Amino acid sequence: MAILLEHLIPKVLSVACDWHIRLLKDWHVIVGSLQTRICLEKIEKDKVFIGVYEYYWMQELHMLSRFIVAKINNHLGKPYVTEIRFRVVNLPKKHTLPKPEVKIQGALAEPPLLTSREQQALMKIKDEQLRKALVQFLRRCQINY
């Protein structure tokens, strides 16, 4: 007989940890769209440990930690959480991060034209290979912008 985890948690945790249960159940509501970047790892007394899937989010989240604590406590109704700690964790295998949108022109579209200023600057470059590489780079920048 299968038992849902949400029914098992209240039996395992004491009544004094009622806010832990609410935090676990409402985590996706509290963090909103950040749930694709972070996960709730552990709750220890008044500290919440959050797993972060990518290194570059660590600094951003650290700067937002007071806001996150306030949002958690606001949702719970009392100041239960006083500190948040972050650590990088592996992304679950079934979970993938959203890819950034890239503007792609049609396959039959002509490559973007260079301005006269860009063409003049390129003509000053003596090395043919370097000139071609810079033209390709400029065109890629125009496509992705």
- Please determine, for residue 123, whether its predicted confidence score (pLDDT) is greater than 80: yes
Give the integer Cα–Cα distance in Å for 43 and 45.
6
**What CATH number labels 9-88?**
3.30.300.180
Question: What is the number of residues in the chain?
Answer: 145
Q: Could you give the C-alpha distances from 108 to 45, 104, 128, 141, 142, in angstroms and in order?
A: 61, 11, 27, 18, 16
Q: What is the DSSP letter of 13?
A: S
Where is average pLDDT lowest: 8-17, 109-118, 122-131, 133-142?
A: 8-17
**Per-residue pLDDT at 117:** 84
pLDDT at 34 over 80: yes
Q: For residues 50 and 86, is the Cβ–Cβ distance under 8 A?
A: yes
Boundaries of every domain in the chain: 9-88, 100-145
> What is the arithmetic mean of pLDDT over 36-42?
91
